[in-house]
Chain A
Amino acid sequence: MTDERSEERGNTSQSSNGDYPLYANRNDTLAAASGRPLRDLSLQKTLSEDISSEDYSISAETLRAQAEIARGAGYPQLAQNLERASELTAVPNETLLEMYEMLRPGRCSFEEYQALAQRLRDEFNAAATAGFVEEAAAVYRERGLLRRELE
């Protein structure tokens, strides 16, 4: 939602695309969520070492870099999504599934959403996602989408 977006939109030259694709242009510095450098995620290493799921998971930093590319190319909402995603890389799998379930309609009270937002901030440093949850809670309250109101 930035003013400069309208200016940049017409620019389709490569320069506005940052280092995209990162795979080709940042191969030396890219690392997985585990911290394992991409160059160490080779077939040889896969055969000889213990490779965890985190070794082929995207990192918060890479997601932020992709968000910047999206913003530069005129996709601000996608950029925001990728920024929330970068925050959510810190959230464990099961917790992530629980949080999604909580956001579905009629699942939680207003206070529970506030607690969720607080947890996102405190435990996961996820300010953008926390704000998003708070916004949802306010709308849910107005529109009867909190738990007790559906019951």
Chain B
Amino acid sequence: MTTTATVDRSVNGDTGSRRFSILAGRDINRETYVEEWAEAGLTVADSPYDPQPSLRVVDGQVMEMDGKERADFDALDRFIADHALDLAVAEEAMATPSHQMARMLVDINVPQPTIRRLADGCTPAKLCEIVRHMNVLEMMMGLGKMRVRKTPANQAHVTNWRENPALLAADAAEAALRGFAEIETTVRVARAAPLNALAILVGSQTSRGGVLTQCAVEEAFGLRLGIKGLTSYAETLSVYGSERSFVDGDDTPWSKAFLASAYASRGIKVRFTSGTGSEALMGYAEQCSMLYLEARCLLITKGAGSQGVQNGSISCIALPEALPGGVRGVLAENLLASMLGLECASGNDALASHSALRKTAKLMLQMIPGTDFICSGYSAIPKQDNMFGGGNFDAEDFDDWTVIQRDMQVNGGIRPVREEEAIAARRQAAQALQAIYAELEFPPIDDEEVEAAALAHSSEDMPARDMVADLAAADRFLEGTANLSDVVRALHRSGFEQAAANLLEMGRQRVAGDYLQPSAIFGDGFNVISAINDNNDYTGPGTGYRLEGETWDALQRIPQQKSPRDFIDAQVGEPLPNLAEISTAKVGATANEIVVAVGPAYGTSLVKTIGELDHEEVLEALLTGVAEEEFYGRVVRVYHSADCAAIGHAGARLSGSGIAVGLQSRGTTVIQKRGLAPLNNLELFPQSPSLTLEIYQAIGRNAARYAKGLSPLPVGVKVDNGARLRLIVKTALLHRREIDDIQEKAPQELYFRWEPDV
């Protein structure tokens, strides 16, 4: 529904509600919502067909699991029963009431290892039963404690529609600078994969050594890229929660486990992929809830020996979000992964909503507790360049993200960066790749492309390349003998010594294999951080991960923040030459005078209002208004207070007519009458940024009319809803400046050298 249609409807005198019509046009109503249908697997956390927890172990073999006899096990049941469950603890775990385990997850006195020990003995149905007792707040508590790596992190997606290598390198460099621990690319055209993988590898290592990179392509192809040294991790090893879906995915738990071992044998970190909704989407949900099927996926992941999983619905996210409780269900699956000791890259990648409010609300469930990777891929590029199908958060949201981190003192894994730093990192990455392309005789990257990549936002900002030639080069590179050391040499020869050293270090780290351990990433200086040496030891306030020290300093220093001193530059200037102090002010004797009482800094320390009106002109306007009513204006300065009400109140006591205008230096104004309580008044103008000289003149007029005993129409001021939001810091600082000039001194009569033009 469009706004135009809305208007038409009103014009046509339709009986529909105007408000509902406007609501129908909102982003939130561009989404799809569907009622639950358990038979089709369209239920998030609780299908009436979900199995009940049970486990019978005879002679060290599982003979019954979740109500099914071993003879009836499908391939997935078999794999889970024989590989995933810790039978030493299973009896105890299954006998522990689920609500008790749910409470343990929330209880700060129960440390992570206690819960993990029991979780290792839980069947899929038991795991589901535990988390069904929990609301989202409780799940967040549990997730913050169960996350395997103490330090949270984030992963970026870097792709572009034109498969432009210089741009890929530049975007990877910027993503590395922004602090992403992992960067994933993929392809529009499959054959581009080797060069895309090379581009983000070189780009990231040029910018910050130790970023792990991958290229999402078909499984066997992906392994080939890893073997060649072009990638250091792989996460698109998809598993599914029903046998038919698994087989349709062209794998079995055994083939996936073999693939995991194959990757590890080449020193490549592995993370499986699962997530609610995939089975329903593939048509084989077997009437089970998404959560139950996901619990099976997670146990297969664990049984296969994958150190981690990306879940949180991933590319299927819109399906659970179409259902009741979908976002809670996604959080529940993140929690289950963490309970099982799996590194969790917790979704927040694919486009999940049109509504910024809804996207952010969902994000908080992972960002606040912290996960191993808040996003399974934050789109560090604009939407049109995202070859994963569009990110829920992308390059345009960088500043929103860093501000939210600063607001909450939460580490969401993205550092704020300055423009010049980003450009420099991008340029250097593109130059490094240019040098490699020249050395390895790939189609050249010219200087114009390098410069475009340094400054680009999207691939539309890039000159065209011959993609056919690039693809041919990619084929030759994959089949040829050139390897990581050739790239290192090419970089070194071209003067990119740090990048060469970083790239080599990636190879050396592969030899050591420390990053094969659960939830491993590299911190600064290639220091490996994983569940082994950065174990999450949260046990309540003051424990676990705390955003403090240097990291907090770095995350709070967004480039947009200014020094407080810079805020009031516009209001500071030379004192008014025509405003002079005469003597202590006395109570006026004439009934036709209006006192204009100004604040301590008015026209001296401060010379303009917050709306940047000259103090001189504001005084002129007020006095002109007074004069129009044939009254005299007296100007006095109040020293003992910077408060608008107090200034007006003091002025009214001195005024012969009993009426005064109180005026703060920032422009806030009040019309006050002697005898009224200080916080009562005739008219108050708190929206100082909106006040104009015409309004000040009208205020002066009205003050005189009150003095005449009339009841004038109050001066109208337009309401600017955004003024407080824009100007609150400035307001506070101007007020503070005025307070600095407070003195224990009676109000002083001022001489304002000016004649009204009336």
Residues of A within 8 A of B (CB): 1-3, 5-6, 9-10, 12, 14, 17, 20-23, 26, 30-33, 38, 41-43, 46-47, 51-53, 55-59, 62-63, 66, 69-70, 73-82, 84-89, 91, 93, 96-97, 99-101, 103-106, 129, 132-133, 135-136, 139-140, 143, 145
Give the contacting residue for B510; candidates A31, A47, A57, A82; CB below 8 A: A57
Q: Which residue of A lies closest to B484 (CB)?
A: A56
Q: Is the CB of A81 within 8 A of B305?
A: yes
Q: How far is the CB of B516 from chain A (nearest CB, A)?
A: 6
Cβ of B302 under 8 Å from chain A: yes
Chain B contact residue count (CB 8 A cutoff): 75
Q: Which residue of A lies closest to B506 (CB)?
A: A56
Q: Is the CB of A103 within 8 A of B254?
A: yes
Q: Is the CB of A77 within 8 A of B304?
A: yes
Q: Is the CB of A75 within 8 A of B518?
A: yes
Q: Which residue of A lies closest to B84 (CB)?
A: A77
What would be 10 A-B contacts, judged by CB atoms less than 8 Å apart?
A23-B509, A38-B508, A41-B504, A84-B264, A84-B305, A88-B261, A100-B262, A104-B250, A139-B75, A139-B254
Q: How far is the CB of B106 from chain A (nearest CB, A)?
A: 20
Q: How far is the CA of A10 from the CA of B117 in the complex (A)?
A: 9
Query: Which residues does chain A contribute within 8 Å of B526, judged by CB atoms?
Result: 23
Indicate whether A135 sits within 8 Å of B254 (C-beta atoms), given known contacts A77-B303, A100-B223, A101-B220: yes
Query: Which residues does chain B contribute within 8 Å of A99, judged by CB atoms?
Result: 258, 262
Q: Is the CB of B116 within 8 A of A2?
A: no
Q: Which residue of B lies closest to A97 (CB)?
A: B220
Indicate whether A104 sits within 8 Å of B252 (C-beta atoms), given known contacts A23-B528, A32-B511, A74-B116: yes
Q: Is the CB of B247 within 8 A of A56?
A: no
Q: Is the CB of A62 within 8 A of B512?
A: yes
Cβ of B29 under 8 Å from chain A: no
Residues of B within 8 A of A (CB): 74-75, 78-79, 82-84, 86-89, 111, 113-114, 116-117, 219-220, 223-224, 227-229, 243, 247, 250-252, 254-255, 257-267, 302-307, 341, 483-485, 488-489, 492, 500-501, 504, 507-514, 516-518, 526, 528, 531-533, 535, 537
Give the contacting residue for B227; candidates A12, A53, A104; CB below 8 A: A53
Indicate whether A59 sits within 8 Å of B511 (C-beta atoms), given known contacts A12-B535, A47-B492, A104-B251: yes
Q: How far is the CA of A89 from the CA of B114 in the complex (A)?
A: 36
Q: Is the CB of A89 within 8 A of B511?
A: no
Q: How far is the CA of A62 from the CA of B224 in the complex (A)?
A: 22
Q: How far is the CA of A69 from the CA of B86 in the complex (A)?
A: 18
Q: Is the CB of B516 within 8 A of A140?
A: no
Q: Is the CB of A5 within 8 A of B220?
A: no
A-B pairs, top 10 by smallest CB distance, nearest first, are A81-B305, A56-B507, A85-B264, A136-B254, A88-B265, A51-B485, A103-B255, A58-B267, A23-B512, A84-B261
Query: Which residues does chain B contribute within 8 Å of A143, judged by CB atoms?
Result: 74-75, 243
Q: How far is the CB of B650 from chain A (nearest CB, A)?
A: 66
Query: Which residues does chain B contribute within 8 Å of A2, judged by CB atoms?
Result: 88
Give the contacting residue for A66; candidates B252, B260, B516; CB below 8 A: B516
Query: Which residues does chain A contribute within 8 Å of B492, judged by CB atoms?
Result: 43, 47
Q: Is the CB of A41 within 8 A of B250?
A: no
Q: Is the CB of B258 within 8 A of A78?
A: no
Indicate whether A105 sits within 8 Å of B229 (C-beta atoms), given known contacts A63-B264, A77-B302, A100-B259: no
Q: How far is the CA of A101 from the CA of B492 in the complex (A)?
A: 38
Q: Which residue of B lies closest to A50 (CB)?
A: B485
Query: Which residues does chain B contribute within 8 Å of A129, judged by CB atoms?
Result: 258, 261
Q: Is the CB of B116 within 8 A of A58?
A: no
Query: Which residues does chain B contribute within 8 Å of A89, judged by CB atoms?
Result: 265
Q: Is the CB of A86 within 8 A of B511?
A: no
Q: Is the CB of B304 within 8 A of A81?
A: yes
Query: Which residues does chain B contribute within 8 Å of A22, judged by CB atoms?
Result: 512-514
Q: Is the CB of B500 within 8 A of A43?
A: yes
